[in-house]
Amino acid sequence: MKTTIISIITAATLFGLSSCSQSFLDEDNKSNLTQENYFQNAAQAETFVTGIYTSLRANTAGNGYGETPWVTLELLTGHATTNSQSNFNLGVINHTAGTENPGFYSYWSEFYNGIAKANVAITRIPEIEMDEAQKANLLGEAHFLRAYYYFFLTRLFGNIPLLTAPVDPANVEELRPNRSEVQAIYDLIVSDLTIAEGSGLPNVDRTGKVSLGAVKALLSNVYLTMAGYPLNRGAEYYQLAADKAAELANEGDGWYPLFDNLNALHDRPNKNQGEFIFQVQYLGGVANNNVTQMIIPYNIGISRHGDEYGSINPLPAFVNTYEEGDLRSAERGFFFTRAQRLSTSATVTFPPALFKYWLEASSGANGDLNPDINFTLMRMPEVYLIHAEAANEANGGPTPEAYASLNKVRDRANLAPLSGLTQDQFRQAVWRERYHELCYENKSYFDILRTRKAYNLSNDTFVDLIGFRNESGTTWTEKYLLLPIPQRELQANPNLEPNNPGW
């Protein structure tokens, strides 16, 4: 059967775990054990929980044409184009995609595999005789990861199956789950993160594992999202988001200090360090990450990589929205427009490309051809901006604390602090800062969904989403407020019908 539920069962029962990173994910653990005889000791529990992290790599999984999920979400927003030959990517830009889009399916299949493994861990680990503090930590990691996967999926697909226990392959009903309401999904997400918050995780983890800081960061994002569309919980949840983000913001530079140099965002020595709260782990030669190849202009010859895909190219109109003097829009800040061609040593110029993901250690003239830049899921500037936005909404205008958080991000970019703004002016200032600081980190599409506002690049303002014609020439419709349930899932499970509106 071509169904994700079947693959979920396989992943959860056969335990074919493969994982890697520069730190805790550096082993390739395989066995043919089953649930009934596997969970015997702490080492087995830890190995299994490690395997839950591997589904995070769905973000950057894909082929040379750039048909990879993180590119898909960025092209949907309308602030980037592509030089790749992928009709799937062109369909995403033009909002003419179909239900067989590989980027949509990768998120669905891989994140449900992660959920399945988390369900097994949450069910089986309590039965093991082991140190109770270690057990609580492992369960906290599993609850966090399940929450992360569900948070991502319900924002993309809306009403989705809610699975909280291992699936019995002999039970046909369990193989064909119904879709649950979004509210039920969020109830589980908040419950999971609350459990993780009280599980004794370390405040900060510099090896790539879940930490208390990561839990608080994700929970603040969840509350902010619940305050907006589609749940529209309003002021109460803005306050919850502000309070939770403040718990990290009040730590100042103690937990997650901002880097002084933007280059630290994309080098090897700073993986999991500084402002990085949670990243997807990669290790050269073991698990490579081809993001660097995807951001290089198509076949321009500035790297040692045999293929330079040009999968995602920022629109110049977006780069032009940065304020004068912003370090992020300066050459080799977040973008670059010139480099040395390796074959001739001549300088070549090109439209803005994402220097934010350039990895000199694998792409430069002396690179080792093992691209392994980590993919960032959460970093501290986002928490400051969540705090600023939520505090503004909860209090009917910007508070001193909200200004402090917003200006913390602006200061690093070499921008003057803001003051004296109305609630709406401050709101738009935070949204603008989110686009500029978190650009091409898979944040903008989710901001569009929760605010129902589009960033109009031509006049640097925010406008109603539906009916807006973006810089790519595409007009937003309600259809793209949700992605489609993948066609192969609908064929395998009729209980998923009907598909999302417009699909």
Q: pLDDT per residue over 150-208, tens digit each?
A: 999 999 999 999 999 998 888 878 889 999 999 999 999 999 999 999 999 999 999 99
List pLDDT tens digits, range 321-347: 999 999 999 999 999 999 999 999 899
Closest to 268 (Cα-Cα) out of 255, 256, 284, 280: 284
Whole-number pLDDT of residue 33: 57
List pLDDT tens digits, range 298-314: 999 999 998 899 999 99
Residues 159 and 308 in one domain: no
Average pLDDT over residues 137-146: 98
Residue 165, Cβ density class (10 Å: 0-12 exposed, 13-18 middle, ≥19 buried): exposed
* pLDDT of 452 strictly over 80: yes
Whole-number pLDDT of residue 62: 77
Q: Which token pair is 373?
A: 């830049």
> Containing domain of residue 354, as a range?
290-371
The answer to whether position 442 is within a domain reads no
Last residue within a domain, chosen from 345, 371, 397: 371
Residues 324 and 190 in one domain: no
Secondary-structure breakdown of the chain: helix, strand, coil percentages, each rounded to the nearest 5: 45, 10, 45
Closest to 361 (Cα-Cα) out of 305, 444, 410, 443: 305
Secondary structure of residue 46 in the 3-state scheme: helix
What is the Cα–Cα distance from 261 to 257, expressed in whole angstroms?
12
- What CATH number is associated with residue 66? 1.25.40.390
Matching residue, tokens 């782990």? 281
Whole-number pLDDT of residue 412: 98
State the amino acid at position 476 in one-letter form: W
Average pLDDT over residues 215-235: 98
Q: Between 37 and 162, whose confidence is greater?
A: 162
Q: How far is CA 413 from CA 389, 407, 425, 428, 462, in A?
A: 19, 10, 20, 18, 22
The answer to whether position 378 is within a domain reads no
Peptide bond between residue 230 and the one before it cis (omega within 30 degrees of 0): yes
Q: Which token pair is 223?
A: 């509350």
* pLDDT of 231 strictly over 60: yes
Whole-number pLDDT of residue 36: 72
Last residue within a domain, chosen from 371, 390, 408: 371
Q: Which token pair is 370?
A: 């093992």
Summary mean pLDDT of the chain = 92
The answer to whether position 126 is within a domain reads yes
Phi, psi of 348 (to 5 degrees): -115, 140
| Spatial CB neighbours of 386, under 8 Å, sequence gap ≥ 6 | 220, 221, 224, 241, 242, 245
Look at the chain and report how many structural domains it folds into: 2
Whole-number pLDDT of residue 86: 84
Phi, psi of 285 (to 5 degrees): 85, -15
The answer to whether position 433 is within a domain reads no
List pLDDT tens digits, range 377-432: 999 999 999 999 999 999 999 999 999 999 999 999 999 999 999 999 999 999 99
The answer to whether position 361 is within a domain reads yes
Q: How far is CA 499 from CA 158, 428, 502, in A?
A: 10, 34, 8
Residues 191 and 94 in one domain: yes
User: Could you write out the three-class secondary structure of 346-370?
Assistant: CEEEEEEEEHHHCCHHHHCCCCCCC
The answer to whether position 97 is within a domain reads yes
The pLDDT > 90 percentage for the chain reads: 87
The answer to whether position 135 is within a domain reads yes
* pLDDT of 211 strictly over 70: yes
| Spatial CB neighbours of 353, under 8 Å, sequence gap ≥ 6 | 295, 296, 297, 313, 314, 335, 336, 337
- Strand-pairing partners, residue 375, are 280
* pLDDT of 28 strictly over 60: no
List pLDDT tens digits, range 108-136: 999 999 999 999 999 999 999 999 999 99
List pLDDT tens digits, range 63-113: 767 789 999 999 999 999 998 778 899 999 999 999 999 999 999 999 999
What is the Cα–Cα distance from 258 to 174, expressed in whole angstroms?
46
Last residue within a domain, chosen from 329, 348, 371: 371
Residues 174 and 40 in one domain: yes
Residues 29 and 132 in one domain: yes
Whole-number pLDDT of residue 85: 73
The pLDDT > 70 percentage for the chain reads: 93
Residues 197 and 294 in one domain: no
The answer to whether position 132 is within a domain reads yes
Q: What's the residue count for the chain?
A: 503
DSSP H or E run through 73: helix 69-77
Average pLDDT over residues 224-252: 97
Q: How far is CA 217 from CA 208, 222, 252, 262, in A?
A: 15, 9, 14, 21
Matching residue, tokens 């000791």? 41
CB 143 within 8 A of CB 118: yes
Cα distance from N-terminal residue to C-terminal residue, the chain: 23
CB 118 within 8 A of CB 141: no
CB 56 within 8 A of CB 107: no
**Other C-beta atoms lying within 10 Å of the C-beta of residue 175:** 19
- Strand-pairing partners, residue 132, are none
User: Could you write out the three-class secondary structure of 85-127?
Assistant: CCHHHHHHHCCCCCCCCHHHHHHHHHHHHHHHHHHHHHHHHHH
CB 463 within 8 A of CB 469: no
**Other C-beta atoms lying within 10 Å of the C-beta of residue 213:** 23
State the amino acid at position 437 in one-letter form: E
* pLDDT of 31 strictly over 80: no
Secondary structure of residue 199 in the 3-state scheme: coil
Whole-number pLDDT of residue 191: 98
Average pLDDT over residues 252-263: 96
* pLDDT of 27 strictly over 70: no
DSSP H or E run through 464: strand 461-464
pTM for the full model? 0.94
* pLDDT of 17 strictly over 70: no
What is the Cα–Cα distance from 21 to 280, expressed in whole angstroms?
9
